[in-house]
Amino acid sequence: MQVIQHPSPNCGPRRDGLVPELIVLHFTAMADTPAALERLCAPEHEVSAHYLISREGTVFQMVDEALRAWHAGAGSWAGRGDVNSRSVGVELDNCGGTPFSAAQMDALEDLMRGIMARWHIGPEAVIGHSDMAPTRKSDPGRRFDWRRLARHGLAIWPEDGAATPDVGLFLRAATRFGYNAEFGFAAVLDAFRQRFRPHAQGPLDAADMGMIQDLAARFPVDPTQGNA
Protein backbone atom coordinates (compact mmCIF):
# COMPACT_ATOMS: atom_id res chain seq x y z
CA MET A 1 0.00 0.00 0.00
CA GLN A 2 1.41 3.35 -1.05
CA VAL A 3 1.01 6.21 1.42
CA ILE A 4 1.41 9.81 0.25
CA GLN A 5 2.95 12.12 2.82
CA HIS A 6 1.01 15.37 3.25
CA PRO A 7 2.15 16.80 6.61
CA SER A 8 -0.16 18.87 8.78
CA PRO A 9 1.20 21.32 11.38
CA ASN A 10 -1.83 20.59 13.58
CA CYS A 11 -0.31 18.05 15.94
CA GLY A 12 1.84 17.69 19.04
CA PRO A 13 3.23 15.15 21.48
CA ARG A 14 0.90 12.65 23.09
CA ARG A 15 0.22 13.60 26.70
CA ASP A 16 1.27 11.74 29.82
CA GLY A 17 3.29 9.17 27.92
CA LEU A 18 0.18 7.72 26.26
CA VAL A 19 0.37 5.62 23.10
CA PRO A 20 -2.37 4.64 20.64
CA GLU A 21 -4.88 2.18 22.09
CA LEU A 22 -7.81 3.09 19.83
CA ILE A 23 -8.51 3.70 16.16
CA VAL A 24 -11.18 6.35 15.58
CA LEU A 25 -12.92 6.43 12.19
CA HIS A 26 -14.41 9.60 10.70
CA PHE A 27 -16.02 10.92 7.55
CA THR A 28 -14.87 14.29 6.23
CA ALA A 29 -18.29 15.73 5.27
CA MET A 30 -16.50 17.90 2.71
CA ALA A 31 -16.76 18.32 -1.06
CA ASP A 32 -13.77 16.19 -1.98
CA THR A 33 -10.33 14.99 -0.90
CA PRO A 34 -8.44 18.20 -1.84
CA ALA A 35 -10.85 20.28 0.25
CA ALA A 36 -10.46 17.92 3.19
CA LEU A 37 -6.65 17.95 2.91
CA GLU A 38 -6.64 21.73 2.84
CA ARG A 39 -8.74 22.01 5.97
CA LEU A 40 -6.90 19.30 7.90
CA CYS A 41 -3.56 20.97 7.14
CA ALA A 42 -4.56 24.62 7.66
CA PRO A 43 -3.17 26.03 10.95
CA GLU A 44 -6.13 28.34 11.45
CA HIS A 45 -8.59 25.42 11.62
CA GLU A 46 -6.66 23.54 14.33
CA VAL A 47 -7.88 20.12 13.16
CA SER A 48 -6.06 17.17 11.67
CA ALA A 49 -5.96 13.39 11.53
CA HIS A 50 -3.24 10.85 11.06
CA TYR A 51 -4.63 9.62 7.74
CA LEU A 52 -7.11 10.56 5.03
CA ILE A 53 -8.37 8.04 2.47
CA SER A 54 -9.86 9.27 -0.79
CA ARG A 55 -12.87 7.68 -2.48
CA GLU A 56 -10.45 6.18 -5.00
CA GLY A 57 -8.45 4.51 -2.22
CA THR A 58 -5.46 6.86 -2.09
CA VAL A 59 -4.01 7.11 1.42
CA PHE A 60 -2.54 10.39 2.69
CA GLN A 61 -0.62 10.59 5.96
CA MET A 62 -0.78 13.98 7.67
CA VAL A 63 0.52 13.19 11.17
CA ASP A 64 3.03 10.59 12.35
CA GLU A 65 1.32 7.88 14.40
CA ALA A 66 3.60 8.58 17.35
CA LEU A 67 2.21 12.13 17.58
CA ARG A 68 -1.13 13.46 18.79
CA ALA A 69 -3.41 14.55 15.95
CA TRP A 70 -6.40 16.80 16.60
CA HIS A 71 -9.30 14.73 15.29
CA ALA A 72 -11.44 13.52 18.20
CA GLY A 73 -12.21 16.57 20.33
CA ALA A 74 -14.18 16.39 23.55
CA GLY A 75 -15.57 13.02 24.51
CA SER A 76 -14.55 9.70 26.03
CA TRP A 77 -14.51 5.97 25.49
CA ALA A 78 -14.21 3.18 28.03
CA GLY A 79 -14.15 5.69 30.86
CA ARG A 80 -11.13 7.57 29.52
CA GLY A 81 -10.88 11.04 28.03
CA ASP A 82 -8.24 12.79 25.89
CA VAL A 83 -9.02 10.41 23.06
CA ASN A 84 -6.59 12.32 20.83
CA SER A 85 -3.69 11.12 22.99
CA ARG A 86 -5.00 7.54 22.97
CA SER A 87 -5.84 7.05 19.33
CA VAL A 88 -4.98 7.05 15.66
CA GLY A 89 -7.52 9.02 13.64
CA VAL A 90 -8.52 8.02 10.11
CA GLU A 91 -10.65 10.31 7.93
CA LEU A 92 -12.63 8.91 4.99
CA ASP A 93 -13.67 11.18 2.12
CA ASN A 94 -17.43 10.82 2.37
CA CYS A 95 -20.38 13.12 2.97
CA GLY A 96 -22.11 10.69 5.32
CA GLY A 97 -25.09 9.98 3.10
CA THR A 98 -23.56 7.73 0.45
CA PRO A 99 -21.93 4.29 0.55
CA PHE A 100 -18.17 4.07 1.00
CA SER A 101 -16.47 2.81 -2.15
CA ALA A 102 -14.91 -0.64 -2.41
CA ALA A 103 -11.51 0.92 -3.18
CA GLN A 104 -11.76 3.12 -0.09
CA MET A 105 -12.74 0.22 2.15
CA ASP A 106 -9.96 -1.96 0.74
CA ALA A 107 -7.40 0.77 1.49
CA LEU A 108 -8.85 1.30 4.97
CA GLU A 109 -8.54 -2.38 5.79
CA ASP A 110 -4.91 -2.50 4.61
CA LEU A 111 -4.11 0.60 6.63
CA MET A 112 -5.85 -0.67 9.76
CA ARG A 113 -4.01 -3.98 9.70
CA GLY A 114 -0.71 -2.15 9.91
CA ILE A 115 -1.83 0.25 12.64
CA MET A 116 -3.30 -2.55 14.74
CA ALA A 117 -0.14 -4.64 14.44
CA ARG A 118 2.21 -1.74 15.26
CA TRP A 119 0.30 -0.64 18.36
CA HIS A 120 -1.23 -3.96 19.46
CA ILE A 121 -4.78 -2.65 19.01
CA GLY A 122 -7.56 -5.24 19.04
CA PRO A 123 -10.74 -5.11 16.95
CA GLU A 124 -12.78 -4.11 20.03
CA ALA A 125 -10.76 -0.87 20.16
CA VAL A 126 -11.85 0.34 16.72
CA ILE A 127 -14.60 2.91 17.21
CA GLY A 128 -16.44 5.65 15.39
CA HIS A 129 -16.29 9.34 16.21
CA SER A 130 -19.96 9.07 17.13
CA ASP A 131 -19.18 6.39 19.73
CA MET A 132 -16.95 8.65 21.81
CA ALA A 133 -18.80 11.95 21.19
CA PRO A 134 -22.45 10.97 20.61
CA THR A 135 -23.94 14.38 21.33
CA ARG A 136 -21.64 16.12 18.83
CA LYS A 137 -20.76 13.71 16.05
CA SER A 138 -22.41 11.25 13.67
CA ASP A 139 -19.43 9.95 11.73
CA PRO A 140 -18.54 7.63 10.12
CA GLY A 141 -22.32 7.42 9.80
CA ARG A 142 -25.09 4.96 9.04
CA ARG A 143 -23.71 4.06 5.60
CA PHE A 144 -20.36 2.84 6.92
CA ASP A 145 -19.94 -0.94 6.67
CA TRP A 146 -18.95 -1.97 10.21
CA ARG A 147 -20.08 -5.53 9.55
CA ARG A 148 -17.52 -5.85 6.74
CA LEU A 149 -14.71 -4.77 9.06
CA ALA A 150 -15.90 -7.28 11.65
CA ARG A 151 -15.90 -10.11 9.11
CA HIS A 152 -12.24 -9.35 8.44
CA GLY A 153 -11.30 -9.19 12.13
CA LEU A 154 -10.89 -5.41 12.12
CA ALA A 155 -13.88 -4.51 14.31
CA ILE A 156 -16.49 -6.34 16.38
CA TRP A 157 -20.13 -7.21 15.77
CA PRO A 158 -22.80 -8.39 18.24
CA GLU A 159 -24.78 -11.57 18.02
CA ASP A 160 -28.46 -11.11 17.27
CA GLY A 161 -30.69 -11.61 20.28
CA ALA A 162 -33.67 -10.28 22.15
CA ALA A 163 -34.22 -9.12 25.71
CA THR A 164 -36.83 -7.11 27.54
CA PRO A 165 -36.27 -3.39 26.89
CA ASP A 166 -35.10 -1.52 29.99
CA VAL A 167 -33.46 1.91 29.77
CA GLY A 168 -31.44 1.49 32.96
CA LEU A 169 -30.12 -1.92 31.96
CA PHE A 170 -29.36 -0.65 28.47
CA LEU A 171 -27.23 2.18 29.83
CA ARG A 172 -25.47 -0.14 32.24
CA ALA A 173 -24.59 -2.54 29.44
CA ALA A 174 -23.59 0.31 27.12
CA THR A 175 -21.24 1.70 29.78
CA ARG A 176 -19.69 -1.70 30.28
CA PHE A 177 -19.07 -1.88 26.54
CA GLY A 178 -17.47 1.60 26.43
CA TYR A 179 -20.13 4.29 25.95
CA ASN A 180 -20.33 7.18 28.41
CA ALA A 181 -23.80 7.15 29.99
CA GLU A 182 -23.36 10.79 31.05
CA PHE A 183 -24.23 11.77 27.46
CA GLY A 184 -27.75 10.54 28.16
CA PHE A 185 -29.87 7.63 27.04
CA ALA A 186 -31.09 9.14 23.76
CA ALA A 187 -27.59 10.03 22.55
CA VAL A 188 -26.11 6.67 23.51
CA LEU A 189 -28.96 4.73 21.89
CA ASP A 190 -28.57 6.76 18.69
CA ALA A 191 -24.79 6.19 18.60
CA PHE A 192 -25.28 2.48 19.19
CA ARG A 193 -27.87 2.26 16.41
CA GLN A 194 -25.80 4.29 13.97
CA ARG A 195 -23.14 1.62 14.23
CA PHE A 196 -25.02 -1.64 14.82
CA ARG A 197 -28.65 -1.04 13.72
CA PRO A 198 -28.50 1.83 11.20
CA HIS A 199 -32.09 1.39 10.01
CA ALA A 200 -33.68 1.09 13.46
CA GLN A 201 -36.04 3.80 14.68
CA GLY A 202 -38.39 4.43 17.56
CA PRO A 203 -38.18 3.46 21.22
CA LEU A 204 -35.65 1.07 22.70
CA ASP A 205 -36.61 -2.44 21.64
CA ALA A 206 -35.78 -6.07 22.31
CA ALA A 207 -33.19 -6.26 19.52
CA ASP A 208 -31.30 -3.25 20.96
CA MET A 209 -31.25 -4.92 24.35
CA GLY A 210 -30.09 -8.27 23.07
CA MET A 211 -27.25 -6.77 21.04
CA ILE A 212 -25.94 -4.39 23.71
CA GLN A 213 -26.00 -7.11 26.34
CA ASP A 214 -24.03 -9.40 24.03
CA LEU A 215 -21.44 -6.66 23.43
CA ALA A 216 -21.16 -5.96 27.16
CA ALA A 217 -20.71 -9.64 27.95
CA ARG A 218 -18.13 -10.38 25.26
CA PHE A 219 -16.23 -7.07 25.10
CA PRO A 220 -16.38 -5.47 28.56
CA VAL A 221 -14.06 -2.53 29.16
CA ASP A 222 -14.02 -3.41 32.88
CA PRO A 223 -14.69 -7.10 33.60
CA THR A 224 -14.91 -6.30 37.34
CA GLN A 225 -18.25 -4.54 36.80
CA GLY A 226 -20.13 -7.84 36.66
CA ASN A 227 -22.87 -8.90 34.32
CA ALA A 228 -24.82 -6.11 32.67
Predicted confidence (pLDDT) per residue in 62-100, tens digit: 999 999 999 999 999 999 999 999 999 999 999 999 999
Mean pLDDT of 197-220: 98
Q: What is the pTM of this model?
A: 0.96
- pLDDT beyond 50 at 227: no
Of 91, 109, 124, 182, catalytic: 91
Q: What is the pLDDT of residues 140-185, one digit of tens each?
A: 999 999 999 999 999 999 999 999 999 999 999 999 999 999 999 9
Q: What is the pLDDT of residues 123-145, one digit of tens each?
A: 999 999 999 999 999 999 999 99
The last residue of a domain, from among 151, 185, 213: 151
- pLDDT beyond 70 at 22: yes
Q: What is the pLDDT of residues 23-44, one digit of tens each?
A: 999 999 999 999 999 999 999 9
- pLDDT beyond 80 at 224: no
**Burial class of 22 by CB neighbour count within 10 A (0 to 12, 13 to 18, 19+):** buried
User: Which is more confidently placed, 42 or 223?
Assistant: 42
pLDDT at residue 228 in the model: 35
- Would 84 be classed as within a structural domain? yes
- Buried (b) or exposed (e) across 140-177, using 16+ Cβ within 10 A? bbeebbbebbbeeebbbbbeeeebeeeeebbbbbbbbb
- pLDDT beyond 80 at 223: no
**Longest CA–CA separation in the chain, Å:** 51
Q: Active site includes 91?
A: yes
Model confidence at 1, pLDDT cuts 50, 70, 90, reads confident
- Would 77 be classed as within a structural domain? yes
Residues 134, 216 within the same domain: no
Residues 24, 118 within the same domain: yes
The count of C-alpha atoms lying within 13 angstroms of the C-alpha of 44, restricted to the half-sphere facing its C-beta, is: 1
Residues 126, 190 within the same domain: no
CA dist 178 and 33 (Å) reads 31
> What is the count of structural domains for the chain?
2
Q: Which domain holds residue 193?
A: 167-225
Cβ atoms within 10 Å, residue 134: 23
Model confidence at 225, pLDDT cuts 50, 70, 90, reads very low
What is the DSSP secondary structure assignment for residue 153, as one 8-state letter?
A: T
pLDDT at residue 143 in the model: 97
